[in-house]
């Protein structure tokens, strides 16, 4: 793959550039006019409900599926056409279910994939070490656990030192230890300059580990940005929890509630006698905190910003996509802006 990059409107280098990408299966439109820049060295999450078009978009970015219309470039080169083979050599791909042969050992499997990818197999033992399978390289794959199989799949994606990695549901079925290991490895690769695009349905796991997220629905990218940018788009309230001190009796608690300032009225969501839960707009946070911290009855205050999951399930369960369709004009980047 060429190391050439093109600049993205949002700043930084666009390693992956999509313009007006559409995929139709007969009369059904699975991906609908997607324009997107993915920058060098970023971890980019693609989320959305089942059937939103993530895998179809993924396959097109990998050059495995031709778009009906639109243009896709990786490293400044089209992923379809005469340069496609060369472009794909710079891409690593971990499918959701890697096809492995039970009778081959981990090392034989990796060497097999190296031959398929036409890269030097001499680095296979080191790659197995890299993913934590050094000691299991000679074991047949049939003796591998789900986590070990996933690590082996990850190793084959890293063959040939790709500059761009596509990972489809990479942590599905992994235990917490394996998930931790996976994200640590990903952070190291990212620090080495790799661009990583991944899909996941596990939003809590994604939210502090990806640089930006694209939310897909009905074949379109409905919202795009960092977690903070998405929070600004959806403008959901903060949740603030104030715990009263252990010695506060019912009368003092009542006094605390009765002395509530009128300019902060309407945010109280629940009070169980010990903990007051409030939902407040972000601009009221400081006023609310000042009041709570000055109250002698309050022993502890916790503030929770809306999570990716809160946003996804916002608007009474209609989901992030429905909310994004009605998004205000002050959003970070739309498809049109990217185009
Ligand atoms: N080869 C195909 N022929 C016809 N329709 C297809 C084909 N591939 C995908 N689709 C349809 O395109 C839509 C998008 O599918 P896609 O697999 O991209 O969704 P997804 O977001 O990856 O979903 P999931 O989270 O379930 O993997 C779905 O309605 C699917 O049925």
**Interval 146-182: pLDDT, tens:** 889 999 999 999 999 999 999 998 988 788 888 898 9
Distance CA 127, CA 155 (A): 6
Residues with CB under 6 A from ligand 1: 25, 28, 30, 48, 50-56
Low-confidence winner among 32-41, 68-77, 319-328 (lowest mean pLDDT) = 319-328
CATH topology of domain 237-304: Alpha-Beta Plaits (3.30.70)
Closest residue by CA, ligand 1 atom 5: 25
Residue 10: band (very low, low, confident or very high) from pLDDT cuts 50, 70, 90 = very low
Structure confidence at residue 315 (pLDDT): 62
For residue 335, how far is its CA from the centre of ligand 1 (angstroms)? 21
Structure confidence at residue 204 (pLDDT): 86
Paired tokens of 101: 């042969």
Indicate whether 63 pLDDT > 60. yes
Paired tokens of 261: 């300032």
- Long-range pairs, 96-104, Cβ under 8 A, ≥24: 96/168, 96/169, 96/172, 98/149, 98/150, 98/152, 98/153, 98/156, 100/141, 100/144, 100/149, 100/152, 100/153, 101/141, 102/140, 102/141, 102/142, 103/140, 103/141, 103/142, 104/140, 104/141
**ipTM computed for the complex:** 0.97
**Interval 222-256: pLDDT, tens:** 889 999 888 888 888 899 999 999 888 888 888 88
Please state the rounded mean pLDDT for residues 11-23: 87
Residue 154 burial (CB count, 10 A) = 24
pTM to 2 decimal places: 0.81
6-90+162-232 shares its CATH topology with 237-304? no
Probe target for ligand 1 pocket from 54, 58, 214, with the most ligand atoms within 8 Å of CB: 54
**DSSP result, 98-136:** ----TTSBHHHHHHHHHHHHT--GGGHHHHHHHTT-GGG
Residue with the two structure tokens 């078009």? 53
For residue 55, how far is its CA from the centre of ligand 1 (angstroms)? 7
Q: Could you tell me the residue ranges of all domains in the chain?
A: 6-90+162-232, 237-304
Q: E strand or H helix at 209, and its extent?
A: none
Q: E strand or H helix at 181, and its extent?
A: helix 176-191
Residue 333: band (very low, low, confident or very high) from pLDDT cuts 50, 70, 90 = very low
Give the nearest ligand 1 atom to 219 CA.
Answer: 14
The SS3 call for residue 49 is coil
Low-confidence winner among 19-33, 82-96, 106-120 (lowest mean pLDDT) = 82-96
Closest residue by CA, ligand 1 atom 20: 51
Indicate whether 269 pLDDT > 90. no
Residue with the two structure tokens 């945010």? 267
Q: What is the CATH architecture assignment of 6-90+162-232?
A: 3-Layer(aba) Sandwich (3.40)
């Amino acid at each position: 793959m060429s190391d050439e990059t093109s600049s993205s409107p949002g700043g930084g280098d666009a390693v992956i550039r999509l313009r007006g990408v559409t995929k139709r299966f007969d009369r059904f439109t699975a991906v609908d006019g997607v324009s997107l820049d993915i920058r060098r060295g970023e971890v980019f999450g693609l989320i959305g409900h089942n059937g939103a078009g993530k895998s179809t978009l993924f396959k097109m970015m990998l050059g495995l599926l031709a778009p009906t219309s639109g243009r896709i470039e990786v490293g400044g080169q089209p992923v379809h056409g005469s340069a496609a083979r060369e472009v794909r050599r710079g891409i690593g791909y971990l499918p959701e279910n890697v096809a492995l042969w039970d009778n081959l050992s981990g090392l034989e499997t990796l060497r097999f994939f190296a031959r398929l990818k036409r890269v030097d197999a001499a680095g296979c033992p080191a790659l197995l070490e890299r993913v934590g399978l050094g000691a299991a390289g000679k074991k047949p794959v049939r003796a591998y656990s789900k986590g070990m199989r996933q690590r082996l799949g990850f190793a084959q994606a890293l063959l040939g030192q790709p500059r761009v990695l596509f990972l489809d549901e990479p942590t599905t079925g992994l235990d917490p230890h394996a998930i931790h290991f996976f994200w640590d490895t990903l952070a190291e690769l990212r620090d080495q300059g790799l661009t990583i695009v991944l899909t996941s349905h596990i939003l809590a796991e994604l939210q502090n580990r990806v640089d930006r997220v694209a939310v897909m629905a009905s074949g379109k990218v409905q919202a795009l940005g960092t977690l903070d940018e998405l929070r600004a788009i959806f403008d959901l309230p903060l949740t603030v929890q104030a715990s009263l001190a252990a010695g506060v009796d019912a009368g003092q608690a009542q006094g605390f509630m009765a002395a509530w300032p009128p300019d902060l009225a309407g945010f109280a969501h629940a009070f169980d006698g010990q903990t007051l839960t409030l939902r407040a707009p972000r601009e009221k946070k400081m006023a609310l905190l000042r009041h709570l911290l000055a109250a002698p009855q309050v022993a502890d205050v916790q503030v929770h910003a809306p999570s990716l999951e809160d946003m996804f399930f916002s608007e009474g369960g209609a989901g992030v996509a429905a909310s994004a369709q009605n998004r205000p004009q002050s959003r970070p980047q739309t498809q049109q802006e990217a185009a």
